[in-house]
Amino acid sequence: MSSESIALAGVPERSQPLSAVLYSWVTTVDHKRLGILYILLAVFFLVIGGIEATIMRIQLIVPHNHFVSPEFFNQMFTMHGTTMIFFVAMPLLFGFGNYLIPLMIGARDMAFPRLNAFSFWLAAFGGLLLYFSFVGGYGLYGAGSAPDVGWFAYAPLTAKVFSLGHSTDFWTLGLLVSGFGSIGTAINFVATIICLRCPGMTLGKMPLLPWLNLVMAWLVLLTISPLTAAQFMLCLDRFLGGHFFDTQAGGSAVLWMHFFWIFGHPEVYVLIIPAFAFISEIVPVFSRKPIFGYPVMVGATVAIAFVSMTVWAHHMFAVGMSAYGNTFFAMTTMIISVPTGIKIFNWLGTLWGGKLIFKTPMLFAIAFLFQFLCAGLTGIMLSAVPFNWQLTGSYFVVAHFHYVIVGGILFAAFGAFYYWFPKMSGRLYSEALGKLHFWLFFIGFHLTFDFMHIPGVLGMPRRIYTYEPGRGWDVWNLIVTIGVFFQGIAVVIFVANLLYSVFEGKLAGNDPWDAWTLEWSVPSPPPEHNFARIPEVRSRRPLWDIKHPEDPDWKYE
């Protein structure tokens, strides 16, 4: 099983007609191909969601701009938020999980390969439904109208009287369908990790990526389902004349808020936990040290998952809950920073005294550490109720959660792209272009999201389509928009690098990073069956044991 067999395996595929290749991808149940399909779906929607963000930022670059209409601006922020969470972040993380989990636990595929394919196509169909609203969602403003109710779609904006036509219906059905896909994938992840580990891989010897994905999948089961239930209720209201969120008939708009955020806040952790998983694989390999505090890392992740179920109403401090409610949710929100802080210290402990290698994945990982810490700190600021009352619904909040999602999740995901690209494609990416991508994106990110905090503190509300000059917001909005173009160019370089390297990159071999987990023991790209013989492991770093038979890990664990 050398790199020779890769080239041989590649030849017959290329000589196939395009229709046969397409057919094999559409009908595939192979976890690696589905993983790549998930990732491609995510990149596709990342570009679309990025274009929507750019449209908003161009509109806000100067006061009294007329680049787009207020109605279109409303559609843009709704579609941007919905797309980025449900059709970029989720499929991206599911894609990496799908690709890596069976390889890392020494399995030949997921537990339910056909359910896996079904889940992917549901996610893709959900995205299609959402975007079909642009042509099919006849609304108030003439033919074709995208949803414009915001990504959390507060009642009564979604009520039939306030949202005519079908734009909101496409929103709710798109999320319902992709939510079923997410639940299917989560079931698959849990069953795979519990039932298909290779001999010797006890839970205590499992690499952190499957461990953290197990916690994430569990969290998906507990948090996507409330969203599904709430979307059912919204459908009943809109299609059958129900009154769940109809305040005219005694229904409660606040109940929707609770149901949405019971999903919405743990969802942040659904997204960040796999990002933690990437960092926990990348940082040790490029520090040439095993992860510091493995059991604590697992424990902290489980703790985060538990506490994340009890913090949702910190999104609703301004609604007017009781003082006890406010106090409770402020406390839990502050408590969740403790296990998160433990993780930061563990990664620092891994870096400490290591022989650091600053390849592109490592650059993204280190930027992640710093930015995620800052995002956590503004999160603690917002958990203080009086501070929150002052800044809720302002650009400070927008800056805070983009710091988490872009500065945390997206940076970790870019690191993962570069780290596992040689495994998925069999070829090395261009390190120079990778570093250029990193620095441009890093500069763009900080220009945009550092300076976005300031107009927020100065009182600029989120979701406004334009603003008066002379309020002290102008220059900050200009800087924020300039940063967007840096990020846009960086993403173009990223896509170009991947496309170029897939065809022209140097052959990677099995193990370009001298790493320690099982996916690096098989050829790149791995054969359809992954492992010719199911491996047996005796430690958390099975490849270290092979490379260093004189000093294997299992002597110490």
Partner 1 sequence: MNSAAISPGTIETPWSLPYKGQVGMFCLIVAESTIFVIFVVAYLFYIGKSLSGPTPREILEIPIFATVCLLSSSITIHTAVRALGKANFGTFRLLWFVTLVLGAIFLIATGFEWRHLIVDRNFTIATNLFGTTYYSLVGLHASHVTVGLVGLLTVLLLALFGKVRLEHYPQVDTFALYWHFVDAVWVVVFTVVYIIGR
Binding residues for partner 1, per CB under 8 A? 1, 111-112, 115, 183, 186-188, 190-192, 194-197, 199-200, 217, 221-226, 228-230, 232-233, 236-237, 240-244, 249-252, 255, 259, 262, 510-511, 518, 521-522, 531-533, 535-538, 542-543, 545-546, 549, 552, 554
Shortest approach of partner 1 to residue 248 CB, angstroms?
8
Shortest approach of partner 1 to residue 521 CB, angstroms?
5
Nearer to partner 1, 120 or 364 (CB): 120
Nearer to partner 1, 424 or 491 (CB): 424
Beta bridge partners, 507, equal 427
User: What six digits make up the tokens of 208?
Assistant: 């952190």
Q: Three-state DSSP class for 7?
A: helix
- Residues near 487 by Cβ (< 8 Å), separated by ≥ 6? 50, 440, 441, 444, 445, 448
Nearer to partner 1, 171 or 516 (CB): 516
Region of 353 on the Ramachandran plot (φ > 0 left; ψ -120 to 50 alpha; else beta):
left
Shortest approach of partner 1 to residue 526 CB, angstroms?
10
The secondary structure of 24-46 as a DSSP string is HHHT---HHHHHHHHHHHHHHHH
Shortest approach of partner 1 to residue 536 CB, angstroms?
4
Shortest approach of partner 1 to residue 172 CB, angstroms?
15
Region of 496 on the Ramachandran plot (φ > 0 left; ψ -120 to 50 alpha; else beta):
alpha
Nearer to partner 1, 470 or 549 (CB): 549
Nearer to partner 1, 111 or 212 (CB): 111
Shortest approach of partner 1 to residue 340 CB, angstroms?
24
Nearer to partner 1, 53 or 111 (CB): 111
Angle between the N-to-C axes of helices 411-425 and 360-383, in degrees from 0 to 180, rounded to the nearest 10: 150
How many helices (H) and strands (E) the chain has is answered by 19, 0
Nearer to partner 1, 241 or 353 (CB): 241
Q: Are 402 and 271 in contact (CB under 8 A)?
A: no
Tokens 């913090």 found at:
311
d(CA 407, CA 271): 13
Shortest approach of partner 1 to residue 532 CB, angstroms?
6
Task: Give φ, ψ of 507 to 5 degrees.
Answer: -65, 140
Beta bridge partners, 139, equal 142
Nearer to partner 1, 461 or 509 (CB): 509
Tokens 């979701």 found at:
463
Task: Give φ, ψ of 139 to 5 degrees.
Answer: -130, -155
Shortest approach of partner 1 to residue 231 CB, angstroms?
10
Nearer to partner 1, 30 or 52 (CB): 30
Shortest approach of partner 1 to residue 198 CB, angstroms?
8
User: What six digits make up the tokens of 90?
Assistant: 């989720």
Shortest approach of partner 1 to residue 241 CB, angstroms?
3
Amino acid at 401: F
- Residues near 432 by Cβ (< 8 Å), separated by ≥ 6? none
Q: Three-state DSSP class for 461?
A: strand
Shortest approach of partner 1 to residue 20 CB, angstroms?
29
CA distances from 441 to 247, 397, 495, 501 (A): 45, 21, 13, 20
User: What six digits make up the tokens of 346?
Assistant: 């563990």
Nearer to partner 1, 46 or 227 (CB): 227
Quick one: which H or E segment has residue 68?
A: none
User: What six digits make up the tokens of 459?
Assistant: 């009182």
Nearer to partner 1, 41 or 220 (CB): 220
Nearer to partner 1, 236 or 334 (CB): 236
Q: Are 462 and 398 in contact (CB under 8 A)?
A: yes
Shortest approach of partner 1 to residue 309 CB, angstroms?
11
